[in-house]
Amino acid sequence: MIDPLDQLTAASRNFAFLGPVAPRMGADAAAAEYYAFSDPDAAMGRARRFAEEFTRSLSGPFTGKEPSLHERVRRLVAGGVVPGRLVPLLDTVRRHGNEAVHQGSGDVAKALVSVEHCFRLAVWWHEHTQGSPPGHAYVPPSAALGRSLELRRLVEAFEKAVDAPPPRIVIAPRAAPAEDWAGGVEVTGGPHRYVVYGPAEVSEAPDRSWVFRDAAARRHDASNEPVRLRGVRGAGAAYEQLVRGLDRQSALLAELGGRPGLPRPVWRGADGDAELLVAAPPAGVSWQERFGLGPQPLDPLVVPMALSAAIDLANTLTALHQAGATHLALSGRSVLVGRDRRGALRDLGHAGLAALPPAADGYPAPEQRASAYGRPGPASDVYQVAALLHHTCAGAAPGGGPVVLSPHAPAGLAELLAAALDPEPRRRPDLRTFAGRLRRVRTHPHPEATL
């Protein structure tokens, strides 16, 4: 990578975090930041270029003529890759950039808005692809940036380097090492190939006799279909149990196929020495992206929407329970919320996969942590749905004490969550009862928290 590009990104107070993982995106955003006061039109042009790279990095391979920025955004939202809340940001950056290039507005205020939108998009991109937010707040650029001779030198060197058609930062598919599913790795599943994007979720046996991976991917063809890959490599009794678990999940998906809120089975088989399950998740964004998980309680106006999504989730889990399986790994990432605001499952969690440890970002029930409470089962899913709702509405995961919610929370919600979070599994309501009571709570929200 060219040195001025790296230096320009590293010098930015807002976009330095992109340097190690997306230097071209970082340099475009840093250039927009630099030009905001001295040349607003150039700033908005660079911000639009940032948006182009942002969408290309998430779109995967395409055939024929490259889609427009507007079309890429539409496809990413329709495919559940980009949450709808980012569309206004991308649309504003696109429109401001077009206006700057074709008309020359010279509007500093619009340039500053475009730079801030780039930061918000970059924060989401980093968390989505790298698994963690950058960890610092936005710093509005000052007019002094445009007077920095050193930054001017770096920006000019960067501009010269990108006079040629800019290199795409989409990670090219590469052969998958047996021990890795990193972003850009190509995995074969039956008749199709899939390109992994984002970090894989990895579980490994203490003695390293097996390793289980779970990753988001897209089909490497014109369809660009989003899928979820789940695979295990290894040997021994626990490994064989995990293989049987993938078989069980494949059978469950086939049995329950077509039901709203559940993934669709795509393929089950072997990829080299890995046993692989490919499934297409329902369209939507993660619960965490839709509602957030702390540190502040959810806006009372949004709580009814979260309750409705939780009711859908409980109904879907009830169908899973009736098929003789339990999820056991619900979290803000494994639960999805569609554009229709319905709750759904990204995957079947730990159903049939008892050897896997509790999800790192999940809400293991007491019986999953200590055998004195009995064996995990359907009541564990009740606990996890309630814990997810508690984290969403209260701004913190349940800590074992009394359930305390905002005074504006719907009447009866705290009592219902307390019952579902009871340490004793036999005292919790079943999911059908929980969903019914949650529906009554949703129907009678707090007077100051109505939609």
Tens digit of pLDDT for each residue in 394-403?
A: 989 998 788 8
Q: Is the pLDDT confidence value at 180 over 80? A: no
CATH pick for 285-449 out of 1.10.510.10, 3.30.1490.20, 1.10.3720.10, 3.90.1150.10:
1.10.510.10
What pLDDT score does 164 carry?
39
pLDDT above 90 covers a percentage of the chain that reads 46
Q: What is the pLDDT of residues 44-64, one digit of tens each?
A: 999 999 999 999 888 866 656
Distance CA 183, CA 198 (A): 5
Distance CA 14, CA 343 (A): 34
Alpha-carbon distances, residue 192 vs 31, 196, 197, 217 (angstroms): 40, 13, 16, 12
Q: Which of 181-185, 269-273, 288-292, 393-397 has the largest mean confidence?
A: 393-397
Once rounded to an integer, what is the mean pLDDT over residues 14-28? 88
What pLDDT score does 148 carry?
53
* 151 vs 344 pLDDT, higher one: 344
Q: What is the pLDDT of residues 297-315, one digit of tens each?
A: 888 888 899 999 999 999 9
User: What's the pLDDT band for 450 if we cut at 50, 70, 90?
Assistant: very low
* Domain boundaries of the chain, sorted by first residue: 3-161, 174-280, 285-449
Q: Which fold has domain 174-280?
A: Transferase(Phosphotransferase); domain 1 (1.10.510)
User: What's the pLDDT band for 445 if we cut at 50, 70, 90?
Assistant: low
What pLDDT score does 428 carry?
97
Q: What is the mean pLDDT of the chain?
A: 85
Least confident of 17-26, 47-56, 339-348, 370-379: 17-26
> Would the CA dihedral through 136, 138, 143, 149 be positive or negative?
positive
Once rounded to an integer, what is the mean pLDDT over residues 439-444? 85
Nearest to 61 by CA among 215, 174, 200: 174
Do 174-280 and 285-449 have matching folds? Answer: yes
Q: What is the pLDDT of residues 224-263, one digit of tens each?
A: 889 999 999 999 999 999 999 999 999 999 999 768 899 9
pTM of the predicted protein model: 0.63
Least confident of 17-31, 273-287, 366-380, 412-426: 17-31
